[in-house]
Structure 1
Amino acid sequence: METPPSELSVQDWLATTGIDWATKIVLALAIFIIGRIVVKILTGLILKAFKKAKVDDTLAGFLTKIANVLMLAVVVMAALEKLGVETTSLVAILGAAGLAVGLALQGSLSNFAAGVMIIIFRPFTVGNFIEAGGTKGIVEGISIFNTNMRTPQNQVVIVPNGQIMGGTIVNYSVKDTRRIDLTLGVSYDDDLRVAKDTINRVIAEDERILKDPAPIVGVMELGSSSVDIVAWFWVNSPDFLQTKMDTTEKMKVELEKAGCSIPYPQRDVHLYQSESKSA
């Protein structure tokens, strides 16, 4: 801003430079005020668009805030430009600062990107029982950076989203039914027909086991110490664990009642005594 050289020239300075600066300030304020109003309207439209597209509320709110900040930054830059402030160097400084912050928060940004992918593609939802990020449990919450899981031991584990998306995700709850796979070994001396009939009877008596798809019972392998019979049958997902425990116990009991033995690996040790001869 130019300083008037003397009191005699104040009127001339006001008539030229002063009016010019006043005009710039008024225009800058107008740009800022109108820009804020426009940004507010656009932010509301963006949020409505996200809701209409049924984007997750957490992701929609976060992205809307980012858009709001970026648009306000453009408005502020335009207002400063009108005042004659050189914004090129300011943009460069902000860019360098952003790069430094990005490098410092590289892990957090990776978790953020993974969180966005989880919310958009939904490989699992709250309430699902999953195995991911080295943890198995029920999903209790999904945020931008972390996923909260409750283990069967009632422990709350906070898993970074980057670890989840960087590995294999097993969702045990996404399907309504699950298959139970049991392997039962019987002795080579046992009657296989009796063993299979006993296993089929245990399956048929359990109302939790579905009839369709039909259960499968058959000899899978001739092991080193037993004949391995597999039993595959389907149950509703909530009944999986309890049904597996109950049928495993009952099949052992019923097989023993039917005269079938469940062998286990044995090792025969033979001792030989050598006679030492005196010289």
Structure 2
Amino acid sequence: MIESAFEHAGKLLVYWAPHVLVAVLIFAGFWLVARLADRAIQRVVGRTRLNVLVVALLSRAAHFTLIVFGVVTALGTLGIDISAIVAGLGLTGFALGFALRDTISNLLAGVLLLVYRPFDINHHIQVSGFEGTVINIDLRYTTLESPTARILIPNSKLFTDPITVRKT
């Protein structure tokens, strides 16, 4: 009985070892490509005028996407039906996108503001009844300094509402 269990385990090992090895090699390949893509994006985009936050966001997005593709491809190599996984990822992405639409809107507007630069640090702007000097632009908010307060304006507001820019 024990001998037959070992014999069965040996057959399983002989059958699965090459599949697992190929899956690990595929994932390692995607991981390596993700690392190279990180460096390439930072090198190429770093030469442009893009903000460091935008470069980091692009780099992370590419890295995450490649790793997910690597996991799904490796699982497919093992014979796992990945159609349910892909459908689940799609539904999860849709649900997260819907739930986080305001946050995602602010992030995308922040990226576009950092890329197109309609105003910069130390510019005096007026938007949606708020006025002040820009002291910080990040991916979610732009911070204005006024004589009476520090104002955080969501980037989606800056991207959709008219802005008056006075360079100082």
**TM-score (structure 1 length as normaliser):** 0.56
Give 1:7 deviation, angstroms. 3.4
Q: Give distance in 1, aligned partners of 2:8 and 2:160.
A: 70
For the Cα contact (< 8 Å) 1:126–1:141, is it kept in 2? Answer: yes
Which blocks of at least 5 consecutive residues in structure 1 are unaligned? 174-236, 238-279
Q: Give distance in 1, aligned partners of 2:155 and 2:8.
A: 66
Q: Give distance in 2, aligned partners of 1:72 and 1:9.
A: 37
Pick aligned residue for 2:159 from 165, 180, 188: 165
Give the corresponding residue for 1:30: 25
Q: Give distance in 2, aligned partners of 1:9 and 1:148.
A: 67
1:41-80 matches, within 5 Å, as 41-80=36-75
Q: Give distance in 2, aligned partners of 1:142 and 1:39.
A: 28
Give 1:11 deviation, angstroms. 4.2
How many residue pairs match? The answer is: 168
Of 31-40 and 158-167, more deviation after overlay is shown by 31-40
Percent identity between the two aligned chains: 25
Q: C-alpha deviations, 1:236-275, integer Å up to 9, x for none?
A: x6xxxxxxxxxxxxxxxxxxxxxxxxxxxxxxxxxxxxxx
Q: Give distance in 1, aligned partners of 2:104 and 2:94.
A: 12
Give the corresponding residue for 1:119: 114
Give the corresponding residue for 1:88: 83
Q: Give distance in 2, aligned partners of 1:138 and 1:160.
A: 15
Relative contact order, CA 8 A, sep 6+: which one is greater? 2
For the Cα contact (< 8 Å) 2:143–2:153, is it kept in 1? Answer: yes
1:1-279 matches, within 5 Å, as 7-8=3-4, 11=7, 14-15=10-11, 17-153=12-148, 155-173=149-167
Task: Report the secondary structure of 2:114's partner residue.
Answer: helix
Q: C-alpha deviations, 1:18-74, integer Å up to 9, x for none?
A: 312011111111222232122101211011111122211111111111111011111
**TM-score (structure 2 length as normaliser):** 0.91
Q: Greater helix percent: which structure?
A: 2
Task: Report the secondary structure of 1:149's partner residue.
Answer: strand
Q: CA RMSD in A?
A: 1.9
Structure with larger Rg: 1
Give 1:105 deviation, angstroms. 0.8
What amino acid maps onto 2:104 in structure 1?
L
Q: Give distance in 2, aligned partners of 1:164 and 1:97.
A: 29
Which blocks of at least 5 consecutive residues in structure 2 are unaligned? none
